[in-house]
Amino acid sequence: MMQNTKLKYIDIEKDKVYLAFIINSMIYFYKLRNYHTQVIECEQWITMLNRNTIDTEYTKSALIALKNIMIDAANYFCVVEDKFDDSELAIKLSNKITSLFKQ
């Protein structure tokens, strides 16, 4: 069973706009593909990002879900949309999220 430890995402305020942009784009894509679980995960992250005071600590499960969304977004933007800047942004955010697990 996974521990309920929380990880700090210190730059969440700074990355909030970029994360929301990418997640909203992925909600559209996931709905087209009928990926209901991913839609729910995206909507939960949008809810968390829209809070007035963003908590900087997140469960490992929540951050893994966010990392997976960013990886899907990188592939989607690169292959489907030909938006290489957006794909690069998703990769950078994914790497930042992955680095939280090493701290």
pLDDT, one tens digit for every residue, the chain (103 residues) = 455 689 999 999 999 999 999 999 999 999 999 999 999 999 999 999 999 888 889 999 999 999 999 999 999 999 999 999 999 999 999 999 999 998 7
- HSE-up of residue 35 (Cα within 13 Å, Cβ side): 14
Task: Give, in degrees to the nearest 5, the angle at Cα 68 between 63 and 72.
Answer: 150
Q: Is residue 48 part of a domain?
A: yes
Q: How many domains does the chain have?
A: 1
d(CA 15, CA 58): 15
Which domain, by its residues, includes 87? 13-100
Q: What is the pTM of this model?
A: 0.90
d(CA 46, CA 17): 10
Q: Is residue 3 part of a domain?
A: no
d(CA 29, CA 57): 28
Q: Is residue 2 part of a domain?
A: no
